Amino acid sequence: MQFEHLVEVNGSEAPFALSREALWSGLLRRAEDARPFLPGLESCRIIERQADALVRELRFGQSLVRDRACWHSPNWIRFEADTAQEHAGGSLTISIEESEEGKLFLRFCYLTNSCEADGENQKYSDFIRSAWCQSDFDTLHVIRKMASSGKLL
């Protein structure tokens, strides 16, 4: 299944403007410790570190997901989850786009190993897309919260 959408960062509804640097710092925080960004995540353990990548183990209750976060600073970050018994695997790429100075967007691109649903299973696909959208808006909210409390940069 594939899904992509944009989230405006500094629109008229935003409580304050985020700089590209603060936004990027927040995305790197999500790679370092995903717990504030993913409700239900009990632990995020880094098991391998490189200059532009991490391998992590994410524990959700009894489920363990292993993924790799890699990035091209300060443009995009990608999370690639391994296929496991409890997880279909796939990737999420988050890109920072700037249409003009200070007009920032986050583009979220999902690609999973699960098949695109049709017919009766369409409701399930719609539910997954809706959950992804909510998670993406929550990501921006957490980054804003971190920025307002001085935890970024």
Strand, helix or coil for residue 8: strand
CATH classification code of 2-148: 3.30.530.20
Q: What is the residue type of 58?
A: L
Distance CA 110, CA 135 (A): 12
For residue 115, the model assigns a pLDDT of 64
Per-residue pLDDT of the chain (153 residues; tens, 9 = 90+): 899 999 999 988 888 999 999 999 999 999 999 999 999 999 999 999 999 999 999 999 998 999 999 999 999 999 999 887 767 789 999 999 998 888 999 999 999 877 665 666 778 788 889 999 999 999 999 999 999 999 886
For residue 117, the model assigns a pLDDT of 58
Task: Please list the residues that pair with 134 across neighbouring strands.
Answer: none
For residue 113, the model assigns a pLDDT of 77
Statement: the pTM of the whole predicted model exceeds 0.85: yes
Domain segments of the chain as ranges: 2-148
